[in-house]
Amino acid sequence: MGQSNIGVPPFSADYRAAGILLHVSSLPSRYGIGDLGPQAVEWVKRLAHAGQSCWQVLPLGPTGYGNSPYQPLSSFATNTLLVSPDWLVEDGLVQPGDTEHEAFAKAEVDYGAVVPFKTRLLDKAWENFKRGAGADLARGFEQFCRDQDHWLADYALFVALKAKFGGGHYLDWPTEFIRREAGAMLRARRELADQISRESFAQFLVFRQAKQLKVRAHRRGVTLLGDVPFFVSDDSSDVWAHPELFLLDENLRPQFVAGVPPDYFSATGQLWGNPVYNWDALRASNYSWWIDRIRAVLVHVDAVRLDHFRGFSAAWYVPAGSATAVNGTWEPGPGEDFWRVAHKELRKLPFIAEDLGYITPDVYALRDEFHLPGMRVLQFAFDGHPDNPHLPENYNANTVAYTGTHDNATTRGWFEALNAEQQDKVWLQLRRCGARSSEASRAMMEAVWSSTAGVSIAPLQDLLDLGDEARMNVPGHPDGNWRWRCTEDMLHDAAFEWLGDLTGEVKRSKPSRVRETEVVAAASRGPERSRAQT
């Protein structure tokens, strides 16, 4: 397809682009959760009209514990809660009446209501498909199952078994299923054949819709920026199907779990609980699972933010069973060896390194050796030190700069939590002395947009000047996160007109659009498998 619309890193001094961070689930929708259909297309149009080059989303995997997109049930599957009911109707798989429902909450995702609604809708689509509805999709579904068999067969069985055993953690299943004994697997595939096919069909549908959205975004000159969690969930098909790739004990339980030591967000660190990798086993397979994982994400997006990039250099290992993340140790990751293989296999590295938190020189060296742009967050800039890397005057072109991220308070919420002296320091640094707190979000956006960073991004909440009620996630607090949604009436024209004016003034308006024929051809191709995959 050629170069993506936000450019292929490293970003040069004359490259300037801008975008908005908003997860798909946060889009307006009458179905209780944002989805990949018409509202997402309208969102892309709105971004393009405001001169934006990029739409950044959070990980798109199927969410498990706490509804966190950073704890997906699979590194390869896509979250079927994001399927568009409207596009299911267009495909003839359900009738308009099937999408009727009681009113959902408008300003948040009520997962307790959304999950059963989407489940019933996909069940209906599957039953109708078996009876001949959407017959023109049959060949595509068969091809999808063949192309994705290296992960889909295990994932669909994992989901079917999880339902069979009441939705609990897979380590609570009968031992023969935990250990994937051959006889048990054969019986399960026979007994659960319809459920397995139904889940495979649901993945086909959501992949198909994601591809349609990507094509339409490209037609508008908008690039999709995705996200890859560094670790995987302990309750995932990844660990169940490939226990040899993780440091597990004789009972297939993690020996260590991932986290980070005490930092800006938490005095006791963050105990994520993810199993850690067996890098020796991954290295022996030429990192094929990891490379295929990246390829799977790049089917849906054009470039990827690598969450917890520092884990490629070293990660914080906490003994399993610890109450906090305080007593961990730094253990080496694969380092430059992985990135040499990734460059050979992928041919280009369309990645952004999330290099926030406790970062040591070796992490920066690894990032810079492969010319990966790093991240800067303006909310972290105001400690009084002139060499603070988050100050705009210290950015370089190969940087993606943010007002805040999904883990931060909204800029208005952050600013209003500062005391008067701290607020004065922020205004002094921004050269806006005497301004009101209601001006903080736009002042911060102006500073990021005016900087030398190759790409500037703000969460939608900052563009709309929303407070703490709109925060997406509070790190270290497992409950109540990932629910925020915007409503249609929040997306008023005045905010996007201001955004378009700012973007034009600082010369960040979106580059020329990719030729539509190239986009359609690229989007029609499925993900390539790693040559090292067995």
Q: Where are the beta strands (DSSP E) in 374-469?
A: 374-377, 399-402, 455-459
Phi, psi of 472 (to 5 degrees): -85, -40
Give the span between the Cα atoms of 466 and 459, in whole angstroms. Answer: 10
Contact 319, 331 (CB under 8 A): no
Token couple for 402: 């943010």
Give the span between the Cα atoms of 456 and 436, in whole angstroms. Answer: 24
Residue 446 appears among annotated catalytic residues: no
Contact 534, 289 (CB under 8 A): no
Give the span between the Cα atoms of 251 and 261, in whole angstroms. Answer: 27
Q: Which of 91, 227, 235, 307 is catalytic?
A: 307
Q: What is the DSSP string of 163-206?
A: HHTTT--GGGS-HHHHTT-HHHHHHHHHHTHHHHHHHHHHHHHH
**C-alpha R_g of the chain:** 23
Reduced to 3 states (helix: H, G, I; strand: E, B; else coil), residue 458 is strand
Reduced to 3 states (helix: H, G, I; strand: E, B; else coil), residue 373 is coil
Contact 83, 35 (CB under 8 A): yes
Residue 355 appears among annotated catalytic residues: no
Tally the C-alpha atoms within 13 A of residue 133's C-alpha that lie toward its C-beta: 14
Residue 407 appears among annotated catalytic residues: yes
Q: What is the DSSP string of 217-283?
A: HHHTT-EEEEEE-SS--SSSHHHHH-GGGB-B-TTS-BSEEEEE-S-SS-TT-EEEEEEPB-HHHHH
Q: Which of 154, 199, 345, 354 is catalytic?
A: 354
Q: Which of 292, 407, 446, 462 is catalytic?
A: 407
Catalytic residues, by residue number, are: 307, 354, 407
